[in-house]
Amino acid sequence: MMKTIRIKDEKDIEQAEDTVLVLGYFDGLHRGHQALFSEARKIAKEQNLKIAVLTFPESPKLAFVRYQPELMLHLASPADRRQQLAALGVDCLYLIDFTSRFAGNTAQEFFEKYVKRLRAKAVVAGFDYHFGSDRKESHELGDYFEGKIVIIPSVNLDGQKISSSRIRETIAAGSMTKTQELLGYPLSTRGIVVHGNARGRTIGYPTANLAPLDRVILPADGVYVVHVEHEGRLYRGMASVGKNVTFEGDELRFEVNIFDFSQDIYGDTIRVFWLDKIRDMVKFDGVDQLAAQLKSDEETARAWTAGA
């Protein structure tokens, strides 16, 4: 059972057992991150250590660069990230806000204050990990730490490094199959089912209008093949993200048509797994043209298979 401990500074750390400490900011726990935890599990088993992580609820970039709303969007919600870390074998998750004060620690201070108190006997980090206000690199970890150090090399796909920023680019492009390859699992979004304008019902395609629950990045505007999880059951469906241009809409809409499903589920929370993009958002000349396109979209979504 993973323990999650929120700390303000090093004085809040109470670690009773020796650890292998995994260092980094893990947004979305993609395949590159998973390689770090695979190594940590081996070391923990060999040396009888607990696996500990010291990381941040929000992006460290917030402390350094001009604010943009995208910086507050995650690849996975905090709850999902905790679940992923637990599944990857983490015993103790320490969360600290990346503040100016924390950023002011030199590499030496970071190791004295945090790594020692976390009782690290081994450290695992990625090849591009930086630490301390003096911006030390992963190959310099040995200058500050006497225990076992494992630096994980780049994990690549198609000759390019798997990284959170690359994944954000594929999501922004609507490339959900590539996103899943990079993450190792499908991107998903939780939403509460709310009342919309009920137009879909009148043309034979009732949709669940969703208010997104978490600050998780949404795919590019378009129509997608999705899986929808409701009360533990998985359904095939199609979802649209974007402005409802056929009806002169100018606000972002996120709605899903769940196949072979007829329940009223207002107020329920459902999860949408993004599988593949069908098409861009298009303005249609009328309801008949839209209905014909939706029929074609449904055929595409029902026939979709992974890797096809």
Where, residue-wise, is CATH 3.40.50.620 in the chain? 3-161
Q: What is the pLDDT of residues 67-93, one digit of tens each?
A: 999 999 999 999 999 999 999 999 999
What's the pLDDT at 308? 61
| CATH code for residues 3-161 | 3.40.50.620
How much is the pLDDT for 231? 97
In the structure, what pLDDT confidence band is assigned to residue 17 with cuts at 50, 70 and 90? very high
Give residue 248's pLDDT: 47
174-303 CATH choice from 2.40.30.30, 3.60.40.10, 3.40.630.40, 3.90.79.10: 2.40.30.30
Query: Whole-structure pTM over 0.75, yes or no?
Result: yes
Q: What is the pLDDT of residue 282?
A: 86
**Nearest-angstrom CA–CA distance, 24 and 187:** 21
* pLDDT tens for each residue of 216-249: 999 999 999 999 999 999 999 999 998 654 444 4
Task: Write the burial class of residue 235 (CB in 10 Å: 0-12 exposed, 13-18 middle, 19+ buried).
Answer: middle
Question: How high is the pLDDT of residue 283?
Answer: 82
Share the mean pLDDT of the chain. 93
The candidate with the shortest Cα–Cα distance to 266, out of 218, 211, 196, 194, is: 194
pLDDT at 40 over 90: yes
